[in-house]
Amino acid sequence: MGTTMHAIRQTGSNGPSSLHWGTTERPHPGDGEALVRITHAGVNRADTLQAQGHYPPPPGVTDILGLEGAGLIEDPNNGTRPDGTPWKAGDEVAFLLSGGGYAEYAAVPHGQLLPIPAGFGLEQTASVVEVACTVWSNICMTAHLREGQRILFHGGGGGIGLFGIQLAKALGATVATTAGSAEKLATCQEYGADILINYREEDFAGVLAGCGGVDVILDIIGAKYLARNIDALAPDGHLVIIGMQGGVRAELPINKLLAKRGNISATGLRYRDREDKARVVRETVSNVWPMLEDGRIRCHIDRVMPAEQAAAAHRALLSGEVTGKIVLKLPGAH
Amino acid sequence: MGTTMHAIRQTGSNGPSSLHWGTTERPHPGDGEALVRITHAGVNRADTLQAQGHYPPPPGVTDILGLEGAGLIEDPNNGTRPDGTPWKAGDEVAFLLSGGGYAEYAAVPHGQLLPIPAGFGLEQTASVVEVACTVWSNICMTAHLREGQRILFHGGGGGIGLFGIQLAKALGATVATTAGSAEKLATCQEYGADILINYREEDFAGVLAGCGGVDVILDIIGAKYLARNIDALAPDGHLVIIGMQGGVRAELPINKLLAKRGNISATGLRYRDREDKARVVRETVSNVWPMLEDGRIRCHIDRVMPAEQAAAAHRALLSGEVTGKIVLKLPGAH
């Protein structure tokens, strides 16, 4: 076993053009970590931010991009599956990372290893780990979405949106979504969205307040939507902000929030500690994996590209032309 | 039984000078409501806002001030105690109201009747209903304060502050509090506060951020403290805003909130529906009443005044000279 590997290296903070395929040192698994040979890595909008010099990895984590993937166990290092049986070398596995997915190998904390859902391949599984953990932790563990409630996903055509729509429908919620084109909204509808709002043509807050408001909002916009999101909330509603594509500071109308007993959480997976991530992964596997296995949730991969073309993948994501996910294929994939 | 009663009537929205002792129609209990003869009514800061024309009662609720009190059951109308035994005419009882406490009689939803804690009198009990339900619902049901965590109460010398300090200590939390005088801070310390901050002399956010931040903040200030409250939060912390003495709109630094995975709730008891209030009352009786009965929480009554002097009571509360609670004594009290 060599001591180097191929990976996407970042040589600046200039976005896609900073990304190059090269070689680097292979990671060594520490205590409580397995070594995984990666075959597929999911691409997330957060990766494009990191390539632009924002959203740095937590202290001590590799600066290689990539928050999720799938592959084969190279060295289990005594890790066990959620059901308690040991992982073995050669087992197919998926994983949630704090960084390091755009590479041939990653050291993965045992609590962030996930089994492959029955009937799923590595490519498909690599495309759902981050969205599944993100959507479950936010709409269920943070906002406690219940059957019969209403939820709004902004950017319904993205990876989180398409996954969230299906998960919320599986939980018995009514789903509203915003997107910027009729085509993306048609895809949202195909995956189950009930209320479709083209944000270029309609004011989502007016539409939703007019029908009683929504109980939960999963927001990736931040400042630009803050006031309107609060207008769109139902009494006791919960706004969960997981992205700030629309700015980082905005005026909060506390009186409106108080009048509807509203809640705001701003959160993310990446900076949680290991124990917290393991808890999210455990709950996601036990609650969401069955929905993948029985077809209640399907993955939507827009395209699969060789990992060497990560820069092109980022350009595609940033252009807004992508619906669902992009997956990078590492050289070791069959 | 006559059809009129004495009560504090409000003849304008000019604050204390709008309040006059007079006569009005006695309330008729509707379905699911008992009629109570009031002996003592608690005075809350919210009452002073209502007397100034802010904070109107929910639709359908009397415009008579007063959110809590104690007295005797006049007509139980089939109501039962939390333990399932029926209320009987003449039973001593306390109650949470959406309005109507500054009066000789009130119609009270059955779910908002509370037993008198063992060892407590009507006067003492009237002083703790609103604060007990407010503090329990916010720091436990909303913010889930746990043993070993840190909590900050703003205005520690007020009714909510002094009660909250004791409740949080009983739950095993470390308690920080702000107040505007050394005398009030000394009272806070006497009731168990660990970290004492005179807001006229120190920046609370700097002090608290310097020791790792607080997990929960119960805030009555609103806009003026929003940014500093977020600075004072620990990772995964929860800011609960229940008052807006310092304004209703302020800039929210979403990026700072997201960096610590912070949560904000703005909430209140008064506009909740009956079912929700009954749930708060039930949890408060089962969790907080034992703390009153075994002395872990003591009530702190600054003064008891005849109900006719409600205007003077409001003036005292607004002057900032009051530590703890004011209770109004109705003519029927012994």
Chain segment A259-268, per-residue pLDDT in tens: 999 999 999 9
- Between A40-44, A318-322, B110-114, the lowest mean confidence (pLDDT) is in A318-322
Q: Note the pLDDT of residue B334.
A: 66
In degrees and rounded to multiples of 5, residue A268 shows phi and psi of: -165, 165
Q: CB B271 to CB A263 under 8 A?
A: no
Alpha-carbon torsion (A156, A161, A162, A166), positive or negative: negative
Q: Which of B250, B255, B257 sits opposite A254 (nearest CB)?
A: B250
Please tell me which of the candidates B244, B249, B258 has its beta carbon nearest to residue A251: B249
Chain A residues with CB under 8 Å of B222 CB are 254
First to last CA, chain A: 20
* Tokens at B18, concatenated: 């709008």
Q: Are B71 and B39 in contact (CB under 8 A)?
A: yes
Query: Does the beta carbon of B222 lie under 8 angstroms from any beta carbon of chain A?
Result: yes
Interface residue A220 vs chain B (CB under 8 A): no
Gyration radius of chain B's alpha carbons: 19
Residue of chain B whose alpha carbon sits nearest to that of A256:
B248
Please give the C-alpha separations between residue B190 and each of A292, B152, B172, B245, in angstroms, as whole numbers.
Answer: 57, 16, 16, 26
Burial of A234 (0-12, 13-18, 19+ CB in 10 A): buried
What ipTM was estimated for this complex? 0.91
Helix (H, G, I), strand (E, B) or coil at A21: strand
Query: Which tens digit of pLDDT belongs to each residue from B242-297?
Result: 999 899 999 999 999 999 999 999 999 999 999 999 999 999 999 999 999 999 99
Q: Are strands B214-219 and B233-241 parallel, antiparallel or unpaired?
A: parallel
Quick check: B258 and A252 CB within 8 A? no
Question: Could you tell me the two tokens for B313?
Answer: 């009571």
The residue among A242, A244, A254 with the most chain B CBs within 10 A of its CB, best to mutate, is A254
Q: Does any CB of chain B come closer than 8 Å to the CB of residue A258?
A: yes
Select the residue of A226, A250, A261 nearest B267 (Cβ to Cβ): A261
pLDDT digits (tens, 9 = 90+) for A109-121: 999 999 999 999 9
> Hey, what are B285's tokens?
């009786």
* Three-state secondary structure call for residue B221: coil
Domains, chain B, with CATH or none: 4-128+270-329 (3.90.180.10), 132-266 (3.40.50.720)
> Which of B254, B275, B277 to mutate to probe the A interface, most A CBs <10 Å?
B254
Q: What long-range pairs does B158-161 form, CB within 8 A, spacing at least 24? A: B158/B45, B158/B220, B158/B322, B158/B323, B158/B324, B159/B42, B159/B44, B159/B45, B159/B127, B159/B130, B159/B131, B159/B300, B159/B324, B159/B325, B160/B131, B160/B134, B160/B135, B160/B218, B160/B220, B160/B242, B161/B188
B55 against A29, higher pLDDT: A29
Judged by DSSP in three states, B195 sits in strand
User: CA–CA separation, B41 vs B102, rounded Å?
Assistant: 6
Reduced to 3 states (helix: H, G, I; strand: E, B; else coil), residue A236 is strand
